[in-house]
Structure 1
Amino acid sequence: WEEAWLRQEIDGWACVGAVLPPLRGVSATGIRLPKIGEVVYQGLPLAGVMLSGKPPLVIPSPVTGVVVAVNEHLNERLDWLWSDPCGEGCVACVSVTRHEEIQQNCRPRRVLLVNAGPTAEEQAQKLTALGCQVQRVADRDALAAALADTQDRAVFLDAASFGDAGPALAAMINERAPSVRIVVVGAPAGAPEPAYRKHKIFYYAVEPFSDNEIAEILNAVFQTREVHPPKADRGGEPSEPISSIAITNRNGHKVQLLSAPGLLWRNEGLGCMITQRLLARMFPVVITPGEAYLTPGNILSTATTVDRLMVLLAKDSGLLPGSLVRNTKPDFGVEPGEAAGKVTTMAVQPDDLGGLACLDSRTLAALADHIVWDMASY
């Protein structure tokens, strides 16, 4: 969800939105905005842009918290999502409830703009409008000094302003900061692309600021490696279903995740992701194979044997696929008895097939992170 952005405000709120790539061959027809009071989760859907003839373009939330304000103007000015994504195109304001997630998972887009020509100011303004922190340098000495700090940075090198000297600057960047990704902003007046390709560059783009290609390039430059749902080699045999995963967390509490049939599998998808994350935290994990039938009596009976029972469901709540609704006071229509206050339901908006298997890998990864956080934190 590298396209998502946030701006922290002094009152603990965060303005949130996304820098979206330009639409090609399809038009945006509307937007599904969150509702005030709705809880959103980092990495899971915040909003969705409706597209003609295609599934919605999901805007993920960069934070976890409660929606306190929504930009209703986007219903009439959907174009702001592309023309001014970090300004008028802000989607919502969220009262953040897990500030540690911002420190752990969010990072600024830091750009070193190397441009000695008249377009430097315009390029810097456009990069800033797309949520970047921009430092400008205009000569070799200033570039050498700036390369002393390259953490989480990308370098945009303007070919036209340096002419034939541009490729030598790319070589110097690679020598002094080999991990930095270099984007060459090409132009007919600059050195030709093959001269830059002799050196390690991430992207060569001809006039990307003129057609909004720059938003797409930024998403690629700052994208981390995609997490694919793990799959084991089982020789063609189906994966084993999981009915529950149980741990004893650092607080000494016994926590169990009880799953509706067909949602968790031992060797792939969400079930495997949850298990791997729990093992990485050195929790003792007990996996129960098979499928559980989630009757109220079964759920409440299981809850009496643990300190906290989490129940994973696929439930149509009219939200975007992958959205999570967490309920700490579910009503099962019967007297809970000893299980009172012990059960939390985690209802996920299913995919088009009614399950979770077709959700994209980053949504599954975010779901796994939130489930593990709940299990570990109680």
Structure 2
Amino acid sequence: MNSEYSILVIDDEAVVCESFTRILSNKGYKVDSKTEPYEGLELALSNKYDLVFLDLKMDKIDGMDLFNELRKKDPDLPVAIVTGYPSMDTAIESVKLHASDYILKPFTPEEILKSVNQIIPQKDILSTVVKHRLAKQLDWEPSHKPIQFYKIAWVQQGKDGSVRVGGQLPNFISSKINNLLLPEVNDITYPGLPLSGVVLSDKSRIMIPSPLSGKIIEVNHKLAVNPSVIKENSLDESWIVRIEPADIEKDLQDAHIRNVTLLCKSSDEVKGYLPRLADLGCIVNCVDTVNKAVSTLIKEKNKVIFIDAASLSDNGPEYVKIINQEIPEAKVVIIGKPDSELEETFRKNKILYYCVSSLFDKEITDILYSVFTSIQEDEVFESCQISIIPQSIRRVHITNKHGNKVTLLVFGDMLYNNKDIGYILINKFVEKSFPIEVARGINHFHPDDSTGQQIIEKNKEKNDIIITLQAKDSNKLPGQIQKEIEKYTNEDGSDSRIIKLVIQPKIIDDNEHMIFNSMTTKAVAELIFDEMTSRVLSA
């Protein structure tokens, strides 16, 4: 119940405190508020609040100074920043102090409640088994938020604001793991771009994508010594890196939580299933009747149910029939005994998989992979020969929605032949109705040589943002990007910047053009699009 949670609001405007109290009290939360900053600090330190909303701009003290004092005494307390005067400096400082959210005034009730629901742990979201497993981790303490999955990567958020990221490989990959290509501390990650590479004995590679953007602050070097550990799929042992995230809520919009319903009437069997499902990142809702199962599945997005056939006697097939009728989209997995006479009856219904109980531990990883992961072949982006896209692109210019003039300068032949990165990028601008100019040809120069510098200087006069894009072997994972930002002031005194993007090549085809898989290609195009459409912030 929400009444179990207490929230403190520190804001020197009484009307703001009243707004928070009204919004949150109506949802059952216990709310305290203080208009005197130091009284609020004292209250925060003397009570165990689940969340503090803190205003940044107060007459008697800078809210960031108060935040610093609070962090020194309580590094784990969730704090959401509230401000009517947002700036890059306060946003960066808030991230460094591990703020849980950054809310702009004026706010809506929906924004406040969304923030609360994201920050305060829901007590029914973690099973007892998950809590027990998390408690065993001593050197890094997870938050109460559930594991989230993106492709074959997973994310586990920590109480210190950092996140652990790992990969979960399906067991049907039978080849031995020869090597694991690891990133380095201080590397910057971007959503969808490669984080790590698994090198198999047959020389093939599996790319584990980064689910989010941020800075790598720790690498699990135990995997370099024993890379096969990652195939054990233990969240405690197979994490790859720890990341200081840049915008976790935005980046994880495409991630999902593995909510699983378990229909089982035997408490002993439940105790057997729970540890394995929990160790694979699942949030398990245990039910013992078909009505409870239907009620639970209706609320879940993925609608995945595991049914222990033995504990249901002969009623199992009828229960599956009911679930099929009530929730046709439900993904039903049966856990049955070997050579069961009921197997054929179960299969007359709509089920995803029939798993023999003795093989559950071996097959569960593949089952979860099939249920929750979209397994797609690499897409081939065919040229649609849109008239505005030339064969090779050396420059793209837009005016973004913030009124900033932005030019992308392409060095080398990275945006080639109306396909791949160039194809996706240009079509995104067309889809969003951006006024766009595209210059054909190839810049056979380097952004740091004299000719390249002349090209950049020439474009400085006409742009608020200049982005340079080039391919360069930097001994990184194929598809990884390095980013540098150089700020400058235009003649009119406005703030501008140059963003240098350097991408690690992967494959060079017969015509010496770069080729990436569809996920990396899309992620690179998304990154460039985001950079070109962002606002120029004051230095």
TM category (shorter chain) comes to 0.7 to 0.9
Q: CA deviation at 1:316?
A: 0.9
Deviations 1:250-297 (A, max 9, x none): 211011222234322464211121123333434223322332333412
CA–CA distance in structure 1, aligned partners of residues 242 and 513 of structure 2: 28
State the one-letter code of the partner of 1:66: K
Which residue, out of 273, 277, 283, partners 1:133?
283
Matched residue of 2:515: which SS? Answer: coil
Residue 73 of structure 2 aligns with which residue?
Answer: none
Aligned partners of 2:464 and 2:496 also within 8 Å? no
The correspondence for 1:172, drawn from 311, 322, 334, is 322
Q: 2:254 maps to what in 1?
A: 105
**Which letter maps to 1:105?**
D
| Cα distance in 2, alignment partners of residues 277 and 161 from structure 1 | 53
Deviates more, 1:201-210 or 1:96-105: 201-210
Structure 2 CA distance, aligned partners of 1:260 and 1:91? 33
Task: Label 1:356 to 1:177 Cα distance change in 2 as closer, same or farther (>3 A).
Answer: farther
Asked whether the 8 Å contact 2:185–2:219 carries over to 1, the reply is yes
Higher helix share: 2
Identify the match of residue 150 of structure 1 among 275, 291, 300. Answer: 300
CA RMSD, Structure 1 to Structure 2 (Å): 3.1
Q: Could you tell me which residue of structure 1 aligns to residue 519 of structure 2?
A: 362
With over 3 angstroms needed to count, the CA separation of the structure-2 counterparts of 1:160 and 1:191, relative to structure 1, is farther
Q: Is the 8 A contact 1:246 1:257 kept in 2?
A: yes
Deviation at 1:341, TM superposition (A): 6.0
Within 5 A, what are the aligned runs for 1:7-156? 7-22=156-171, 24-117=173-266, 118-156=268-306
Alignment-mate amino acid for residue 328 of structure 1: I
Q: How far has the Cα of 1:39 moved from its partner?
A: 0.7
Matched residue count:
371
**Worse-matched range after superposition: 222-231 or 104-113:** 222-231
On the 8 A contact 2:479/2:516 being kept in 1, the answer is yes
Q: Shift of the alpha carbon at 1:68?
A: 0.8
Alignment partners' CA distance in 1, 2:162 and 2:173? 34
Distance in structure 1 (CA, Å) of the matches to 2:443 and 2:275: 56
Match of 2:60 in 1: none
Find the counterpart in structure 2 of residue 220 from structure 1.
370
**Equivalent in 321, 331, 345 of residue 500 of structure 2:** 345
* Cα drift, residue 31 of structure 1: 1.9
Q: 1:315 aligns with which of 450, 468, 472?
A: 472
**What letter matches 2:421 in structure 1?**
L
TM-score w.r.t. the length of structure 1 is: 0.86
Aligned counterpart in structure 2 of residue 248 of structure 1, from 399, 415, 420: 399
Give how far 1:192 is off: 5.2
- What is the match of residue 306 of structure 1? 463
Show the 5 A alignment for 1:192-231: 193-207=343-357, 210=360, 212-224=362-374, 226=376, 228-231=379-382
Kindly tell me: are residues 278 and 199 of structure 1, through their superposed partners in 2, closer, same or farther at Cα, counting changes over 3 Å? farther
Residues 280 and 126 of structure 1: is their aligned pair in 2 closer, same or farther, counting only changes over 3 Å? farther
1:333 matched residue in structure 2: none
Helix, strand or coil for the counterpart of 2:184? Answer: coil
Which is further off, 158-167 or 64-73?
A: 158-167
Is the contact made by 2:392 and 2:442 (CA closer than 8 Å) also made in structure 1?
Answer: yes
Q: Matched residues in 1 for 2:315 and 2:362: separation? A: 27
Indicate yes or no: 2:481 matched with 1:324. Answer: yes
SS in 2 for 1:299: helix
Provide the secondary structure at the position in 2 that maps to 1:54: coil
Matched position secondary structure for 1:305: coil
CA 217–282 in structure 1, closer or farther in 2 if over 3 Å, else same: farther
Three-state SS of the structure 1 residue aligned to 2:227 is: coil
Offset of residue 94 of structure 1 = 0.3
Give the 3 Å change call, closer, same or farther, for CA 224–50 of structure 1 in structure 2. closer
Partner Cα separation in structure 1 for residue 508 and residue 194 of structure 2: 18
Larger Rg: 2
- Asked whether the 8 Å contact 1:160–1:189 carries over to 2, the reply is no
Q: 1:342 to 1:204 in 2, by over 3 A?
A: same
Distance 1:202 1:34, change over 3 A: same
Q: 1:143-185 deviations in whole A, cap 9, x for unaligned? A: 1321231213322223343354333322222222223322333
Q: Which amino acid aligns with 2:271?
A: E
Deviation string 1:34-93 (CA, Å, 9 cap, x unpaired) is 211111112111122232231332221112100111112222333331324311111111
Q: Determine helix, strand or coil for the equivalent of 1:288.
A: strand
Q: Hey, what's the Cα distance between the residues in 2 that align with 1:58 and 1:145?
A: 38
Letter in 2 for 1:252: G
In the superposition, relative to structure 1, how do residues 166 and 76 fare at CA in structure 2: closer, same or farther (>3 Å)? Answer: same
Q: Taking CA–CA contacts closer than 8 Å with sequence separation of 6 or more, which of the two structures ends up with the larger relative contact order?
A: 1
What SS does the aligned partner of 2:391 have?
Answer: coil
| 2:530 equivalent to 1:373 | yes
Code of the aligned partner of 1:60: P
Is 2:409 aligned against 1:258? yes
Work out whether residues 183 and 476 of structure 2, in 8 Å CA contact, stay in contact via their aligned partners in 1. no
Equivalent position amino acid for 2:247 in 1: R
**Using a 3 Å threshold, how does the CA distance of structure 1 residues 254 and 185 change in structure 2: closer, same or farther?**
farther
- Letter in structure 2 aligned against 1:71: N
Cα distance change, pair 342–212 in 1 and its aligned pair in 2 (3 A): same
Taking the aligned partners of 2:364 and 2:201, their CA distance within structure 1 comes to 24
TM-score (norm. length: structure 2): 0.62
Deviates more, 1:49-58 or 1:203-212: 203-212
Equivalent residue for 1:182, pick from 329, 332, 344:
332
